[in-house]
Amino acid sequence: MGRSRIEVDLPLQLDRADSASLPSQIVGELRKAIGRGVLIAGDTMPSSRALAKSLRLSRGSVVAAYEQLAAEGYLEATRGGGTRVSTQLEDLHPTLAQAKPEKRPQQKVGGSPSLSLLPGIPFESSLQEAPWRAAWRSGAKLLDELDLPEVLAEHLRHLRSVVVSPQNIMVTSGARDGLATVLHTFRYLKGRPAKVGFESPGNRHLRTVVRLLGHEVVAVPIDDEGVMVRALEGLDLDLLVVTPSHQYPAGASMSASRRFAVLEWARTRRVVVVEDDYDSLLRHVSAPLPALASLDDPADPHVILLGTFSTLLTPRMSAGWLSAPKPLFQKMAKVRSGLGNPVSSITAQALAAYVSSGELARHTRRMRRLYKARSKTLRESLERVPGVRILAQASGLNAALTTSSYPEGALVSRCEEAGLRVRGLHDYWGEASWHVGLMVGVGALKEEEFQIAVDRLVQACSPRPK
């Protein structure tokens, strides 16, 4: 079978002043291209006429070169009269050291692929349905029929109780891009790095963004109600990143009194609060909690709201949004204008069509039911395992569990040996932690695979027989 039907553009170096004939030079250049892996077995070659035209020489020179290479076993004819790199190249030239692109090895255990319980990966199979395809057909029309910020403003008003003007909504490539825009804006305005408070434990990806951009991460401890305000009192911060609706990864929801206390602290200290609203709509023990931004004082606002479609739909799309009070937003928009828009208009139009049709809300309700059922299965299965404790699990795709039976490294290794991909909890703490355990996701697998994965997880977490 042919490797590729796409013709390779060949920048061959020929020297008309060279004593070697042009066909010989073409043969030599093509041999080198095959040896370096620029051309590999099955690649379609340019037609002799096309290559001759690009090299500005007679077609006969290319035909002669192709014929010689075919005789040597480097090229072969295809149906329809074309030419390709021989599919028997390794057999005919076993000593040829071709540089081939390496394929990512598929992880297997006992002859079967390993199963992913990695956190943050949603169930994507339902996106193969007609509404999803129709939304992307709408985006592919290349017509600006819908304005995504306008659609998102309605979405936020109906589902998050946040009233925001479309002019104060920015389309991003996700929460990390949104936070990066906030940080770029801070440095542009202040001329120095920001001190950014993070829940500990907290989102390791967002912490990484802060560090990579040269800002300072400050760990803030949490309790069962979220970030601890008394711990904030002694800190000198510029920004505070929080997940009030579903603390990541511990799972706690910030109480109403704690929310107002955080907002009062931010107003008093003139700190901007960045609310990561990553999966609030997937809360499955009660109705979604109001966003912290909805409680902000409109006369003196301090909250920037980050949203992402990665947990609701798919991370493959890389799309999200942020909303901010007008004075802050205008400054961020100036910075974004200089950096450029990271999301294509096709993606924005497809998302606008999907959200405005009501399909996102319907999809979210379906996923909420699915994740609730899977979370129950996970909890009931692990409750039977001695030493295992699941932290608060009121929402979303993920669950954090701790165990007294194994050190974290050993537990991760046991999971890998059982054919599971998981993540250790220690990555989520901004400082040393006594917690040992796993962060697991319930969304990545099909139903029959998920049950197998849960059974394997129970086996991996179970204490060794004495």
Residue 334: its pLDDT value, please? 94
Strands 272-276 and 303-308: parallel
398 in any annotated domain: yes
pLDDT in tens, the chain (466 residues): 444 555 567 888 899 989 999 999 999 999 999 988 888 889 999 999 999 999 999 999 999 999 999 999 999 988 777 899 998 888 888 777 555 555 555 555 444 568 999 998 999 988 878 999 999 999 998 887 889 999 999 999 988 888 999 999 999 999 999 999 999 999 999 999 999 999 988 888 999 999 999 999 999 999 888 899 999 998 999 999 999 988 888 777 888 899 999 999 999 999 999 999 988 888 766 666 788 999 999 899 999 999 999 999 999 989 999 999 998 999 999 999 999 989 999 999 999 999 999 999 999 999 999 999 999 999 999 999 999 988 766 567 888 898 888 988 899 999 999 999 999 888 787 655 556 789 899 999 999 999 999 999 999 999 988 7
Q: Determine, yes or no, domain membership for 104.
A: no
The residue among 317, 342, 359 that closes a domain is 359
Residue 103 belongs to a domain: no
Domain holding 393, by residue range, is 113-121+362-459
**Domains of the chain: total:** 3
Q: Are residues 117 and 131 in the same domain?
A: no
CA nearest neighbour of 321 among 145, 203, 206, 151: 151
Q: Are 400 and 425 in contact (CB under 8 A)?
A: yes
- Ramachandran region of residue 302, left (φ > 0), alpha (ψ -120 to 50) or beta? alpha
Sign of the dihedral defined by the CA atoms of residues 108, 114, 119, 121, in that order = positive
88 φ, ψ to 5°? Answer: -105, 25
State whether 367 and 355 are in the same domain: no
- Could you tell me if 46 and 161 lie in one domain? no
86 and 204 in one domain? no
Place of tokens 């999971």: 415
Residue 6 maps to a domain: no
Supply the CATH number for residue 179's domain. 3.40.640.10
| Alpha-carbon distances of 156 from 150, 162, 332, rounded to whole Å | 10, 5, 20
Q: Which residues contact 402 (CB under 8 A, 6 or more apart)?
A: 388, 389, 391, 425, 435, 436, 437
According to DSSP, the β-strands at 195-200 and 388-390 are unpaired
Q: Are residues 61 and 135 in the same domain?
A: no
pLDDT tens digits for range 172-183: 999 999 999 999
Q: What is the pLDDT of residue 5?
A: 55
On whether the CB atoms of residues 265 and 231 are closer than 8 A, the answer is no
pLDDT for res 394:
56
What pLDDT shows up at residue 154?
Answer: 94
Percentage of residues in the chain having pLDDT higher than 70: 91
3-class DSSP state of 25: helix
Using the 3D structure, point to which of 325, 359, 393 is the last residue of a domain.
359
In a domain, residue 281? The reply is yes
Q: What is the pLDDT of residue 235?
A: 94
CATH number (domain holding residue 416):
3.90.1150.10
Residues 6+ apart with CB under 8 A from 340: none
366 and 259 share one domain: no
Cβ distance 206 to 199 under 8 Å?
A: no
Domain of residue 42, CATH code: 1.10.10.10
Indicate the SS3 state at residue 176.
helix
Name beta bridge partners: 75.
85
Q: Based on the domain organization, do 446 and 386 belong to the same domain?
A: yes
* 59-63 LR contacts (CB < 8 Å, sep 24+): 61/21, 61/22, 61/23, 61/26, 62/23, 62/26
Q: Is residue 5 part of a domain?
A: no
**What is the rounded distance in angstroms from the CA atom of residue 335 to the CA atom of residue 347?**
22
> Is residue 13 domain-resident?
no
Alpha helices in 340-424 (DSSP H): 345-356, 359-382, 408-417
Domain match, 212 and 347 both: yes
Q: Are residues 140 and 231 in the same domain?
A: yes
pLDDT score recorded for residue 113: 62
CA-wise closest residue to 211 among 247, 176, 245? 176
pLDDT of 428: 80
Tell me: do 355 and 383 sit in the same domain. Answer: no
DSSP classification of residue 173:
S
Eight-class DSSP state of 316 = G
Asked whether residue 466 is assigned to any structural domain, the reply reads no
| 217 and 344 part of one domain | yes
Those residues with Cβ within 8 angstroms of residue 39's Cβ, 6 or more apart along the chain or in another chain: 8, 10, 30, 33, 45, 85
Are 210 and 228 part of one and the same domain?
yes
> From its phi and psi, is residue 390 left (phi > 0), alpha (psi between -120 and 50) or beta?
beta
Amino acid identity of 173?
S
